[in-house]
Amino acid sequence: MRQSNLLLTTLREVPSEAETISHQLLLRAGYIRQLAAGVYTYLPLGRRVLRKIETIVREEMDHSGTQEILMPSMQPAELWKESERYDVYGKELMTFKDRHEREFILGPTHEEVVTSLVRNEISSYRKLPVTVYQIQTKFRDERRPRSGLLRGREFLMKDAYSFDISLEGLDKSYLQMFDAYHQIFKRCGLNFRAVQADSGAIGGEGGSHEFMALADIGEDTIAVCSSCDYAANLEQAEAIQPIKKELNLELPVLEKFHTPNLRTINQLEQELEIQPEQIMKTLIYEGSGQFFAVVVRGDHEVNEIKVSKYIGAAEIGLADYDAVKSLTGVESGFVGPVGLQITVLVDAAVAEMIQGTTGAGEKDYHYRNVVPGRDFELEHVGDFRNVAEGEGCPHCEDGILHFEQGIEVGHVFKLGTKYSEKLEASFLDRSGKSQPMIMGCYGIGISRLLSAIVEQNHDDQGIMWPVALAPYQVHILMMSVKDSGQLAVAEELYNQLTKLGIETLLDDRDERAGVKFKDSSLIGIPVTLVVGKEAAQGRVEYLERTSAGKETLEIFEAVSHIQ
């Protein structure tokens, strides 16, 4: 490609809307342009990198036996009502109506569509297992689109879905994807970790992993063991801030409660996709080895519950309705550690109801007498992660935990039968009995990955692409386009490299040398060949973007060096 023809404008100034390095560099180096908040155009250089990532993802998906399909972005809203996710997903859903007033959704993800597809295509165990994937544009009306491609409202995702006849089958499909993800991120040259993630109400052992690109600006906090390979997502930063704000909590109280493990029920609702009406407005303390959500039994009205103040139940010992009231002054309050140190605050009506059944006026009654299952349903939603920085690892003897920041670039998830039951995707097993298919889902943020890689690969001059993802492998800089000797050498090099199938960008612009060097460092192509004064002697300078040294080489040497 000749740079004089390339749709590329580099910017000297840092655009004011860009806070993160990757966002700044991708704008400055002419890879992307913003159309609206969280909505971007990929210019030719950006498109090429995206294609490289897509190719790696496709190769590894195909290699793992997964089949590529392409599903529509527009999805009938009824399908989302059928799966009961229409309300749960809330404002993040982008919706529109067609001319007949039928409501549609621009797909943020495709569990509904793929499940309805497979339920029609497959009816017998003979056709299972099957895993399909697509690379496609997704739409999410994110509350805070930010950092360029890291959190877009329109973005590119690879999403895959597996269908199995047994839990063992699901384990196998999951592992295949897990391995493929390792390959993909390795080939992208990414510094990453696979971490345990909250698996939601469906997860069993190891029900969900996130792949985290390590970066200071990452939104997720992960706990990593110094000795074994244990690593888990804490999602602490986001979880704590709103709680502190809403409830005006003092930090010491939070610390007592192992801050990383506190989360609001709103977050749980989103993460676990639990129906809001099933849950009391509460804070949940993950304690005593397992992580539970509290679900109110029966059909009590709990929508209006409001937490007005929160104190640590551990601090007051074991809560009793009156004691809590006198300590907190909370009129509508009930605090009861239910055996497993789950702390619940509810409104007066519910408190009364619970008092009636458990005798909540007596001291320590809850602690001693509350019966999980009778007074509350406890739903096991994942493994316990009672971790704080500097603590011992929960998985090995020697390790100490430290925290790192990460960008979630991939997510693998055992879904179980959640969607297949709601959408009636079943198959006939060997004995002719109808069973729901057992599903898994697996996502990679393709466009997010592009930014994450820049976040990890740059210096103060610009981007430094790993070879596998660079838009071009070689950048030829012609120092003076008016020098016929230089022109001849540059053309010769360009033709030879191009013939060899090496992607080469030739800077043939009539610009000063300084400008060309600056732009080249900003764009970040791995190898630069400088055609300057020594061109007359058939020599060029060979530079690598990641190292300071340079070599003077004969033309043929330069070519064989690159090959």
Does 152 participate in binding ligand ATP (rule CB under 6 A)? yes
264 binds, among Mg ion, ligand ATP, none (CB under 5 to 8 A by kind): none
Closer residue to ligand ATP in complex, CB, 99/143: 143
Output the smallest distance, CB 414 to ligand ATP, in A.
13
Position 557 contacts ligand ATP (CB under 6 A): no
Among 182, 236, 254, residue whose Cα is nearest residue 404 = 236
Contact 388, 258 (CB under 8 A): yes
Confirm if 93 and 397 have CB atoms less than 8 A apart.
no
Token representation of residue 372: 């999980």
333 lines the binding site for ligand ATP (CB under 6 A): no
Residue 200 or 336 having the CB closest to Mg ion: 200
Between 91 and 482, CB nearer to ligand ATP: 91
Q: Which listed range, 40-48, 325-333, 403-411, 511-519, lies at the site for ligand ATP (CB under 6 A)? A: 403-411
Between 198 and 375, CB nearer to ligand ATP: 198
Is 110 a binder of Mg ion (CB under 5 A)? no
Among 158, 263, 411, 539, binds Mg ion (CB under 5 A): 411
Distance of CA 497 to the CA centre of its chain: 38
148 touching ligand ATP, by CB under 6 A: no
Q: How many CB atoms lie within 10 A of CB 308?
A: 15
* 40 scored as a contact of ligand ATP (CB under 6 A): no
CB of 495 to Mg ion, least distance (A): 47
> Cβ(53)–Cβ(188) under 8 Å?
yes
**Which listed range, 15-23, 105-113, 343-351, 408-416, lies at the site for Mg ion (CB under 5 A)?**
408-416
Residue from 148, 333, 436, 443 touching ligand ATP (CB under 6 A): that is 443
Pull the structure tokens for residue 2: 């000749």
End-to-end CA distance of the chain: 18
Q: Which of 155, 230, 310, 465 binds ligand ATP (CB under 6 A)?
A: 155
Binding ligand ATP by CB under 6 A: which of 151, 187, 281, 385? 151
If the CB atoms of residues 444 and 525 are measured against Mg ion, the closer one turns out to be 444
Residue 410 lies near ligand ATP (rule: CB under 6 A): yes
Question: Nearest approach, Cβ of 551 to ligand ATP (angstroms)?
Answer: 39
Instruction: Tell me which stretch binds Mg ion (CB under 5 A): 99-107, 279-287, 405-413, 532-540.
Output: 405-413
151: helix, coil or strand? strand
For residue 191, the minimal CB distance to ligand ATP (Å) is 16
Run of H or E residues at 173:
helix 167-187
Integer Cα distance of 249 and 240 in angstroms: 10
Residue ranges in 101-120 that form contacts with ligand ATP under rule CB under 6 A? 109
Helix 446-456 × helix 21-28 angle, to 10°: 100
The two tokens of residue 12 are 């000297």
Helix, strand, coil shares of the chain, percent, nearest 5, are 35, 25, 35
With beta carbons less than 8 A apart as the criterion, state whether 506 and 476 touch. Answer: yes
Closest distance of CB 198 from Mg ion, Å? 9
CA 526, CA 97: separation in Å to the nearest integer? 48
Q: Which residues in the 414-453 window bind Mg ion by CB under 5 A? A: none
Half-sphere exposure at residue 91, Cβ-oriented, CA atoms within 13 angstroms: 3
Cα separation, 271 vs 413, whole angstroms:
12
Reported in sequence order, the residue ranges of 241-393 that DSSP labels E, i.e. its strands, are 262-264, 283-285, 290-295, 377-383
Q: Which residues contact 9 (CB under 8 A, 6 or more apart)?
A: 30
- Beta strand 154-164 with 283-285 is unpaired
CB of 408 to Mg ion, least distance (A): 5
> How many residues bind to ligand ATP according to rule CB under 6 A?
15
Q: In terms of DSSP H, where are the helices of 471-539?
A: 484-499, 513-523
C-beta nearest to Mg ion: residue:
411
Helices (H), 20-85: 21-28, 44-63, 77-82
Partner from ligand ATP, Mg ion, none binding residue 492, C-beta < 5-8 Å depending on class: none
- Tell how many helices (H) and how many strands (E) occur in the chain: 17, 27
**Taking CB under 6 A as the rule, does residue 445 contact ligand ATP?**
yes
State yes or no: residue 192 binds ligand ATP (CB under 6 A): no
Q: How many residues bind Mg ion (CB under 5 A)?
A: 2
Q: Which of residues 75-104 bind ligand ATP (CB under 6 A)?
A: none
> Where does this chain bind Mg ion (CB under 5 A)?
408, 411
> Where does this chain bind ligand ATP (CB under 6 A)?
109, 140, 142, 151-152, 155, 157, 408-411, 443, 445, 447-448
